[in-house]
């Protein structure tokens, strides 16, 4: 493919871990000249830099399970493949269940996960304490556990993808935002930025919670909305978790795992409106601590040392929206991960690159994740959103 100066074969819009993965896998697949645009001055400072870093196979939908199977393998081999350090702890996820209907749903989820080759198990209360002795089990009916789940390194992996992509010739333009898309017929011909115009052969929307705005530049109604989530870390304390097991009280969505000698914790707020608000709501901490101290008594010794807020990019069914857009043949989506963007970024980059270079995502069938699914009524929805 002939490439003129100032043009690109593919423009990737968004410099979080998803965009960095797409850029790396495009370059690895020899897709031509790749330009990545990031509106902030640094990569990975949006949702990627504010997430808790978990990865898991314990989902309620088969497609998310299969995305995890592919992606977690890539997370575990990341440092070796890219020659870049990434801190990964595969100590598992433990979902605590306190309602009979939750326990029955999670038993069905375990059966589905097992059918896909995931070794998740259901534990009665008596077997939970050996995995999480720091947890108060009052009212707990059971739990599910998968040893393949764990905690990763969002920043390290973003920088690792970016470093490898740069070695392969990708041009990263930070502090540059996409402002418009030049469209002729059903094709994008150029991306308009606040630093000039980039003629291109294709464009990828990897803009995280801002994906709806980017899609609108192409006249596409993308149902992705930002939703604030709070994260807190504590200073080191004596009764901190001994390993990096992620423990989730599913009814409340409260979660906690070890972090630098202390703990990292968070919880969803069912009253949270859709917005780009990143301010920390100090009042919400009281609700978090109410659950935290009831389920994890050792936290009474802890001092909250840091709090921040990040944004989930929620889709209507809490499943990602991937692949080529029907209306515009050279516009590709990597959006709507609903809190699972970090863990599915590795395989997403590969799938998008395959679709652009080969014409089809070969590693996994993503037809059920295309934007067009919202044209019909579907009952499929990911239940395990934390």
* Mean pLDDT across 364-385: 90
Pick the CATH number of 10-51+154-224+317-375 from 3.50.50.60, 2.40.110.10, 3.40.50.150, 3.40.50.1980: 3.50.50.60
d(CA 102, CA 129): 20
Residue ranges covered by each domain of the chain:
10-51+154-224+317-375, 89-150+225-312
Cβ atoms of residues 360 and 343 within 8 Å: no
3-state secondary structure of 197: strand
Cβ atoms of residues 146 and 88 within 8 Å: no
What is the β-pairing status of strands 34-38 and 10-13?
Answer: parallel
- Give the pLDDT confidence of 5-56 residue by residue, as tens digits: 389 999 999 999 999 999 999 999 999 999 999 999 999 999 999 999 999 9
d(CA 289, CA 145): 24
pTM: 0.96
* Mean pLDDT across 331-347: 97
Neighbours of 180 (CB within 10 A): 13
Can you list the positions of beta strands (E) in 52-200? 54-55, 93-97, 121-123, 142-146, 150-151, 171-174, 178-184, 187-193, 196-199
- Give the pLDDT confidence of 93-140 residue by residue, as tens digits: 999 999 999 999 999 999 999 999 999 999 999 999 999 999 999 999
- Give the pLDDT confidence of 229-254 residue by residue, as tens digits: 999 999 999 999 989 999 999 999 99
Task: Give 11's strand partners.
Answer: 35, 203
Burial 262-287 (b: 16+ CB within 10 A, else e): bbbbbbbeeebeeeeeeebeeebbeb
pLDDT exceeds 70 at position 320: yes
d(CA 355, CA 361): 5
- What's the mean pLDDT when you consider all of the chain? 95
Radius of gyration of the chain (CA): 21
Burial (CB count <10 Å: 0-12, 13-18, 19+), residue 197:
middle
Q: What does CATH list as the number for 89-150+225-312?
A: 3.30.9.10
């Amino acid at each position: 493919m002939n490439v003129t100066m100032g043009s690109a074969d593919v423009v990737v819009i968004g410099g979080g871990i998803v965009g960095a993965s797409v850029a790396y896998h495009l370059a690895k697949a020899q897709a031509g000249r790749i330009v990545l645009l990031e509106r902030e001055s640094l990569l990975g400072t949006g949702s990627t830099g504010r997430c808790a870093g978990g990865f898991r196979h314990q989902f309620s939908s088969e497609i998310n399970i299969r995305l995890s199977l592919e992606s977690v393998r890539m997370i575990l081999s990341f440092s070796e493949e890219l020659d870049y350090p990434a801190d990964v702890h595969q100590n598992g996820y433990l979902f605590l269940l306190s309602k009979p209907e939750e326990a029955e749903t999670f038993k069905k989820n375990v059966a589905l996960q097992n059918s896909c080759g995931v070794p998740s198990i259901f534990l009665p209360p008596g077997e939970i304490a050996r995995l999480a002795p720091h947890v108060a089990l009052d009212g707990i009916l059971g739990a599910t556990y998968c040893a393949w789940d764990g905690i990763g390194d969002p920043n390290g992996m973003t920088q690792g993808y970016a470093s490898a992509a740069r070695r392969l010739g990708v041009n990263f333009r930070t502090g540059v935002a996409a402002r418009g898309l030049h469209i002729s017929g059903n094709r994008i011909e150029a991306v308009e930025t606040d630093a000039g115009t980039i003629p291109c052969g294709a464009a990828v929307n990897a803009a995280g919670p801002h994906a709806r705005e980017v899609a609108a530049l192409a006249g596409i109604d993308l149902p992705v909305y930002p939703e604030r989530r709070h994260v807190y870390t504590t200073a080191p304390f004596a009764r901190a978790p001994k390993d990096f097991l992620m423990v989730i009280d599913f009814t409340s969505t409260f979660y906690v795992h070890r972090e630098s000698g202390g703990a990292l914790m968070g919880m969803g707020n069912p009253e949270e409106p859709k917005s780009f608000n990143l301010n920390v709501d100090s009042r919400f901490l009281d609700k978090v601590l109410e659950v935290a101290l009831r389920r994890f008594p050792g936290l009474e010794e802890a001092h909250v040392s840091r709090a921040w807020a990040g944004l989930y990019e929620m889709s209507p069914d809490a499943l990602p929206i991937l692949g080529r857009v029907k209306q515009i043949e050279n516009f590709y989506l990597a959006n709507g991960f609903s809190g699972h963007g970090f863990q599915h970024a590795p395989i997403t980059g590969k799938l998008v690159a395959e679709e652009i270079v080969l014409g089809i995502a070969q590693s996994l069938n993503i037809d059920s994740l295309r934007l067009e699914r919202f044209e019909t009524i579907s009952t499929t929805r990911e239940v395990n959103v934390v």
